[in-house]
Chain A
Amino acid sequence: MTIDATIPPGKDKPAGSILNDPKVRGIIYQAVTLLLLIAFVYWVAMNTSENLKRANIASGYGFLKGRAGFDVGQSLIAYSSDSTYGRALVVGFFNTILVAVAGIITATIIGFLVGIGRLSKNWLIAKLSMVYVEIFRNIPPLLVIFFWYSGVLAVLPQPKESLALPLDMYINNRGLAFPRPVFDSGSQFILLAFVIAVIGSILFTRYANKKQMETGERLPVLWTVLGLLIGLPLLTYFVTGMPISFDVPVAGKFNLTGGSVVGPEFLSLFLALSFYTASFIAEIVRSGIRGVSHGQSEAAHALGIRPGLTTRLVVVPQAMRIIIPPLTSQYLNLTKNSSLAIAIGYSDLVSTGGTILNQTGQAIEIVSIWIVVYLTLSLSTSAIMNWFNAKMALVER
């Protein structure tokens, strides 16, 4: 600023009240805000401590060591009602992760299919995709959860009349029973083969990229990688004498025996979150692909690149750059929406936390745990996606 030049020599400040200086004003505003905030927090803290004292609730996280005394429907780690509150929360956390990861994978697949479908030249496919998006985007996810839970899964037949699905799966009103893989000795070699295949794929992709940069020759990366990832473990499976068998559920007289079962709570939450989020992902994918200017594909055609290659090498990489940031926020939304589990009693973090909250009254501690966990999940997901985004953006030059 050139204001200084107008100040007569010997005078430090322009004439006028000091209150008209935006800097001074800013400091005053901030000081007042800060004071008000501190006063408010102090008032809240005083009230809270008094209320807690009256309700005889000891603050602090000591209660986490207490005996939980309630059961959870489904757990990935060992848990019984004798476990501690802390362990119950860990169980809930893992269940949240489980449904979020499963939902994200399914929602991405459905979302991409529907999003590409909306751009299809096939009228029927485009209209069907549009109807899907317009229906699911405009209905609350909670309602979709109840639709699956009390509308569909609850009216399925009893276990003794289970409906048979392909691949030896059965579905009834207690959930979905599916074959459980049993790992005998020797199956560790298959895992090892898979790890080797992953490393081999990475090395081969790098080599292929380098070769293309040097000579312009394109190696069949996709097929080689697929062959490695599927073929090598499969080969090991047969060489080591088929060490993996399946414990298949069998329909008995009254119940199913064998196999693994996922409850209707998980199923309805998973289906609802996938279907609901997929409609948003579809819109993101559509706008991403349409966001790539038409000149790009025309230029590729002019260079004589085939339509399939044009899509893969020209359109998709540029579309991904538009797609990834909103896709990240949809993944986060799905993770956060998984907290709707509490409505149907799937033991996720919020649901177990709610039970503990009712039992112990430790509202502040439970809510603080929720906030910390969800914030960590949000921030780490966006960090990973930002990293991926930066990597995609680098492809530019």
Chain B
Amino acid sequence: MNTHQTNFVRTSMLEQSTPPVLEKGYIAWIRKNLVATPLDAVLTIIAILALAWVLPPAIKWLFIDASWTGGGRGVCATAAQGGSQPEGWSGACWAFVGAKFDVFMFGRYPIDERWRPMLVGALFIALLVPILIPRIPYKGLNAILLFGVLPILSFFILIGGVLGLPYVETPLWGGLMVTLILSFVGIAVSLPLGIVLALGRRSTMPVIRLLCTTFIEIVRGIPLITVLFMASVMLPLFLPQGMTVDKFLRAVIGVSLFASAYMAEVVRGGLQAIPKGQAEGADSLGLSYWQKMRLIILPQALKLVIPGIVNTFIGLFKDTSLVSIIGMFDLLGIVRQNFSDANWASPVTPLSGLVFAGFVFWLFCFGMSRYSGFMERKLDKGHKR
């Protein structure tokens, strides 16, 4: 009767079956990410069509049809325009950018003296890199060297007139060098000034508060170009006869004051986010106002608003391009000035130059925003729950 063995025990494993083909690999990825719903499918098709419409001509213009080498406008103009390219040709004129590269970097700075801005650039990088890497110690000393010693040293190296260096007046400065100097000085001035203004706006003394608030609101309410006009047209009026301020310095003053008002609002946001107990705790320890701010409040507040501060820096960097309107030759200004160079003028020169300048600006701004994201994640750890 016991012949029926109903229990069953598997002795060997089943062959592993492959997952359904629609749930695996790139097909599943496409199904999930590109055609999940009918609307998604339509959007994907539109996007692909748009890309197919824009990308190939752009790549063709930028790389394939571009003229990379050459000594004059001939390589960037069609036969009808007096050049060597076939009729109907259009492509980037990188030969123009290549020939003018030094000018775009240094402006009309004398060729024999260009080692000076290069030296300053090397010093700047040598001091900047260690301050950006969190693991490297001596941040305080590094900051003093970068924001205190370097600007003074660079000023004398660049302008010369001492130690046998020939004098190079500021109207000869130009190109990326001017953009970087303007934004560096702007950053170095606007952060401390912005902190002072923000503290002033939150001060208990009505006169100080009113002054700071008025300054911040007026500057934030008007465009930078009017501030630059003020600096370039009205500053000479305000000073006694015979006392002149260098045009370069006027732009630096205008840009720095403008940025510090924005910085003040960013810092104020951070100050407001610090609970009152922190200030009261500092008071109860008997710290003075400046001790309290320096040791307790500002370190916490500034850490909170690092993204905002970097955004202001990025804005400042982009805003330096406006000085070309008041007749200075920063990167954008010098690129535009060279459009009218008879040796290179052609229909594609402006676009090529602008694409180059745009790429340089983009590189710096994108780098800054990426670094700010990195710092944010690094400093944020203490706040995570």
The residues of A with any CB-CB pair to B shorter than 8 Å are 26, 29-30, 33-34, 37, 44, 47-48, 50-52, 54, 120-125, 128, 134-135, 137-143, 146-147, 150-152, 154-155, 336-337, 339-340, 342-343, 350, 354, 357, 363-364, 367, 370-371, 374-375, 378-379
Distance (whole angstroms) from the CB of B36 to the closest CB of chain A = 6
Identity of the chain B residue whose Cβ is nearest the Cβ of A120 in the assembled complex: B43
Kindly list chain B residues whose C-beta atoms are within 8 Å of the C-beta of A339.
223, 225-226
* Residue in contact with A151 in the complex, picked from B206, B222, B350, CB distance below 8 Å: B350
- From known contacts A121-B33, A125-B43, infer whether A139 and B358 are also in contact, taking CB-CB under 8 Å: yes
Chain B interface mostly helix, strand, loop or mixed?
helix
A343 to chain B: which residues have CB within 8 Å? 324-325
Q: Which residues of B sit under 8 angstroms from A122, Cβ to Cβ?
A: 33-34, 36, 40, 43-44, 47
Contact of B354 among A51, A123, A147 (CB under 8 A): A147
A34 to B208, CA, bound (A): 9
The answer to whether A54 touches B241, judged by C-beta atoms less than 8 angstroms apart, is yes
Contact assessment for A340 and B322 in the assembled complex, using a CB-CB cutoff below 8 Å: yes
Question: In angstroms, how far is the closest chain A Cβ from the Cβ of B104?
Answer: 13
Residues of chain B contacted by A151 (CB below 8 angstroms): 350-351, 354-355
Which residues of B30-54 have CB atoms within 8 Å of chain A's CB atoms?
Answer: 33-34, 36, 40, 43-44, 47-48, 51
Contact B222–A336 (Cβ < 8 Å): yes
List B contacts of A155 (CB < 8 A).
347-348, 350-351
Within 8 A of A (CB), among B191-225: 204-208, 211, 217-218, 220-225
A-B pairs, top 4 by smallest CB distance, nearest first, are A138-B365, A123-B33, A151-B351, A339-B223
Most buried by A among B238, B319, B339: B238
Q: Complex Cα distance A364/B34, Å?
A: 59
Q: B119-127, B141-149, B229-237: which one contacts chain A?
A: B229-237
Chain B interface, number of residues (Cβ within 8 angstroms): 57
Q: How far is the CA of A370 from the CA of B218 in the complex (A)?
A: 11
Complex: A135 Cα to B355 Cα, angstroms: 12
C-alpha gap A340/B221 in the complex (Å): 15
List residues of chain B with CB within 8 A of the CB of A51: 236-237, 241
Interface pair A121/B36, CB less than 8 Å apart: yes
Q: In the complex, how many angstroms separate the beta carbon of A209 from the nearest chain B beta carbon?
A: 30
> Is B354's CB under 8 angstroms from A146's CB?
yes
A371 to B219, CA, bound (A): 9
- Give the Cβ gap from B72 to chain A, nearest Cβ, in Å: 20
B362 proximal to A (CB < 8 A): yes
> Is B292 engaged at the interface, CB distance under 8 Å to the other chain?
no
**B338 an interface residue at 8 Å Cβ cutoff?**
no
Chain A to chain B contacts (Cβ below 8 Å), 20 pairs: A29-B205, A30-B206, A51-B237, A121-B40, A122-B34, A124-B43, A124-B44, A128-B51, A137-B369, A138-B362, A138-B369, A139-B358, A139-B362, A140-B322, A142-B321, A143-B321, A143-B354, A143-B357, A336-B222, A350-B223
> Is B366 in contact with A128, judged by CB distance below 8 angstroms?
no
Q: Are B226 and A350 in contact (CB under 8 A)?
A: yes
Contact status of A139 and B318, CB under 8 A, knowing A54-B241, A364-B234: yes
The answer for the CA separation of A342 and B225 in the assembled complex, in Å, is 9
- B314 interface hit (Cβ, 8 Å): yes
Q: For residue A337, which residues in chain B have a CB less than 8 angstroms away from its CB?
A: 223
Given contacts A125-B44, A143-B358, A370-B222, contact A47 B238 (CB under 8 A): yes
| CB of B360 to closest CB in A, whole Å | 10
Nearest residue (CB) in A for B325 is: A343
A154 to chain B, nearest CB (A): 7
Known: A140-B332, A339-B225, A342-B225. A29 touches B366 (CB 8 A): no
- How far is A123 from B44 in the complex, measured between Cα atoms in Å? 9
* Whole-angstrom distance between the Cβ of A355 and the nearest chain B Cβ: 12
Q: Are A140 and B222 in contact (CB under 8 A)?
A: no
* CB-contact partner of B240 in A47, A52, A135, A152, under 8 A: A47
- Cα distance, A151 to B357, chains bound together (Å): 13
A147 to B350, CA, bound (A): 8
Interface residues of B (CB under 8 A from A): 33-34, 36, 40, 43-44, 47-48, 51, 204-208, 211, 217-218, 220-226, 229-230, 233-234, 236-241, 314, 318-319, 321-322, 324-325, 332, 336, 339, 347-348, 350-351, 354-355, 357-358, 361-362, 365-366, 369
A290, chain B: closest CB distance, angstroms = 15
In whole angstroms, what is the CA distance A70 to B229 when docked? 21
The number of A-B residue pairs with CB atoms under 8 Å apart is: 160
Q: How long is the Cα–Cα vector from A44 to B357 in the complex, in angstroms?
A: 39
Across the two chains, which residue of chain A brings its CB closest to B226? A370
Separation in Å of the B66 CB from the closest CB of chain A? 15
Which of B40, B225, B348 has the largest count of A CB atoms less than 10 A from its CB?
B225
- Please, how many angstroms separate the alpha-carbon atoms of A44 and B234 in the complex? 11
Q: Across the interface, do A363 and B207 meet the contact criterion of CB distance under 8 Å?
A: no
Additional A-B contacts beyond A26-B204, A124-B43, A371-B218 (14; CB < 8 A):
A51-B237, A54-B241, A122-B36, A125-B44, A128-B51, A135-B362, A138-B366, A140-B322, A142-B332, A146-B354, A150-B354, A357-B229, A374-B223, A375-B217
- Known contacts being A30-B207, A143-B321, A146-B354, is A375 close to B237, with CB within 8 Å? no
Q: List, in ascending order, chain B residues with CB within 8 A of A26's CB.
A: 204-205
Q: How far is the CB of A45 from chain B (nearest CB, A)?
A: 9
Are A375 and B221 neighbours in the complex by a CB distance under 8 Å? Answer: yes
Cα(A151)–Cα(B90), bound, Å? 12
Q: Which residues of B contact A364 (CB under 8 A)?
A: 234, 237
Neighbouring A residues of B47 by C-beta, 8 Å: 122, 124-125, 128
A363 near B332 (CB under 8 angstroms)?
no
- Given A142-B321, A151-B354, A367-B226, also A48-B238 (CB < 8 A): yes
Residues of A within 8 A of B362 (CB): 135, 138-139
| Interface residue from B238, B325, B365 paired with A342 (Cβ < 8 Å) | B325
- A384 to B266 alpha-carbon distance, docked (Å): 23
Which of B208, B233, B361, B369 is close to A139, meaning CB atoms less than 8 Å apart?
B361
Q: How many whole Å from B199's CB to the nearest CB in chain A?
A: 13
Report yes or no: B226 in contact with A371, Cβ–Cβ below 8 A: yes
C-alpha gap A124/B47 in the complex (Å): 7
Complex-state Cα separation, A336 to B321, whole angstroms? 15
CB of A349 to closest CB in B, whole Å: 9
CA distance A48 to B324 in the complex (A): 27
**In chain B, what residue has the closest Cβ to A332?**
B221
- List the B side residues contacting A138 at CB < 8 Å: 314, 318, 361-362, 365-366, 369
Q: What's the least CB distance linking B385 to chain A, in Å?
A: 15
Q: Which residues of chain B are within 8 angstroms of A336 by Cβ–Cβ distance?
A: 222-224
Q: Which residues of B contact A30 (CB under 8 A)?
A: 205-208
Q: What separation, in Å, do the CA atoms of A140 and B230 have in the docked complex?
A: 21
Chain B residues whose C-beta falls within 8 Å of the C-beta of A357 in the assembled complex: 229, 233
Measured in the bound complex, the distance between the Cα atoms of B41 and A122 in whole Å is 9
Q: For A120, what are the chain B residues with a Cβ–Cβ distance below 8 Å?
A: 43
Nearest-neighbour CB distance to chain A for B34, whole angstroms, equals 6
A33 pairs with B239, CB closer than 8 A: no
* Residue ID in chain B nearest A29 by CB atoms: B205
Which of B36, B221, B319 has most chain A Cβ within 10 Å?
Answer: B221
Bound Cα distance from A54 to B357, whole angstroms: 43
Nearest B residue to A151 via CB reads B351
